[in-house]
Structure 1
Amino acid sequence: MIIRVEIAYYDVGRVLVDTRSLVNIIFADVVRGMGITDSQVNRQITPLLSFSEDLVQPVSSVNLPIAFGVAPRKTMTYDQFLIVDCPTAYNVIVGRTTLTGIKAHMSPHMLLMKFPMYNGTGSIRGDQLSARTCYETALKSVAIKPPKETMSVQGVPNGKWLIDDPRDEIPTPQAQPAEKLETLILDEKQPDRCAKISTTLASSLRTQFIEFLRHHAEVFA
């Protein structure tokens, strides 16, 4: 689910809520935009296992306040964020530790996250438009090669051109995808919920796409 939150008193969009991630991740461009200096970060960190099960070395880590919801139903907590410098469609990934800390309850089919408060229950809704934008941004990062077209010239006997007969049926060419696609089932319990993805994606990006699409199946299928 993609949401908006307040981090270090900045309004931050394109925040991915990932209940399978054990850590919070904030990407380097966002950190630079917040004006966080080297003296505020901790460089004694361990490698991070990515979506594709590759080891990624974070740049550093930083403790930041993060707030969910809107006043008066707003909750804030301080947590550690690993700073990663790599291309991504997201600004921040909020992991299980923070979600557990605020006792968040996820309702993916309603694009809703709720959390208890002293004055009731706070909530924050998923941003469906941002989810689509993140998906499109990730797709644009993949170079799509145009299909190769072969021109065929057919010889005519005796050097004469045949006269077209209007009664001849000429099949209408149908549009073909620019690249080979494969069908991905987003929900094993509902096989009809599926999407098509490129077969030319890099292994790491393909894994990330599949995780993202299945996590947001209610948006894309």
Structure 2
Amino acid sequence: MISFTKADLDMVQDPHNDTLLVTLKIGDWQVRRILIDHGSSCDIMYVRCYKELDLHPDDLEQSDNPMVGFNGTLTWPLGATNLEVQAGSKKVKMKFAVIDTPFPYNIILGRPWLHVMRVVPSMLHQLLRFPTDQGIEEVRRGPSTSENFHYGGNEVHL
């Protein structure tokens, strides 16, 4: 059973109205500023993140479906890419829509990833919990003040 307790709030400045931002391994990279959004019907990678991961535009799969934002505006993805996402010991391959829109985050992980991972997010507690073969694991809110990528000990600044 996955649950949250008052003790889980010890590492959180409460009260707060913060978004849940985590750092996860995407492919071979540790990517910061990943927004967890249970309201998003797809997983999204912003083009500047795609480029920072040294992924080539020619490798994108064609995507013919527009995305509709919360204000009803249409955004056409540049394409889609499949990448492995690792949280704790659990890895899953996910399809990301790659879009070219200014956004303060690098990636949005929405319901597709949350459901595949069986993640239970708690915005209040600023953490994710999910079942694995080893038991329940968690990912706490990651550093959010920097928009850096880490690879093999190297940092690339956006």
Q: Is the 8 A contact 1:65 1:77 kept in 2?
A: yes
> What is the aligned counterpart of 2:45 among 1, 15, 26?
26
TM-score, normalised relative to structure 2: 0.76
Corresponding residue of 1:119:
134
Report the Cα distance in structure 2 between the residues aligned to 1:31 and 1:37, rounded to whole angstroms: 8
Q: What is the aligned partner in structure 2 of residue 88 from structure 1?
A: 103
1:70-89 equivalences under 5 Å are 74-89=89-104
Normalising to structure 1: TM-score of the pair? 0.55
In the TM superposition, structure 1's runs of 4+ consecutive aligned residues that sit over 2 Å from their partners are none
On the 8 A contact 2:63/2:78 being kept in 1, the answer is no
Amino acid at match of 1:108: M
Q: What is the identity percentage for the equivalent residue pairs of Structure 1 and Structure 2?
A: 24
Deviation at 1:87, TM superposition (A): 1.1
What is the alpha-carbon distance in structure 2 between the residues aligned to residue 89 and residue 113 of structure 1?
A: 21
Counterpart of 2:63?
44
- Listed as ranges, the gaps of 5+ residues in structure 1 are 135-221
Counterpart residue identity of residue 116, structure 1? P
| Selected match of 2:80 from 61, 72, 87 | 61
- Decide whether the 8 Å contact of 2:24 with 2:30 is kept in 1: yes
Looking at structure 2, the residues matched to 98 and 66 of structure 1 have their Cα atoms a distance apart, in angstroms, of: 9
Identify the structure with bigger relative contact order (alpha carbons < 8 Å, sequence gap 6+).
2
**Paired residues for 1:1-221 under 5 Å:** 1-69=20-88, 74-127=89-142, 130=144, 133=145
3-state SS, counterpart of residue 97 of structure 1: helix
Q: How many residues align?
A: 127
Instruction: Report the counterpart of residue 183 of structure 1 in structure 2.
Output: none
Instruction: Please give the alpha-carbon distance, in whole angstroms, between the structure 2 residues aligned to 1:23 and 1:87.
Output: 17
Q: Which has the higher strand share?
A: 2
Return the structure number with greater helix share. Answer: 1
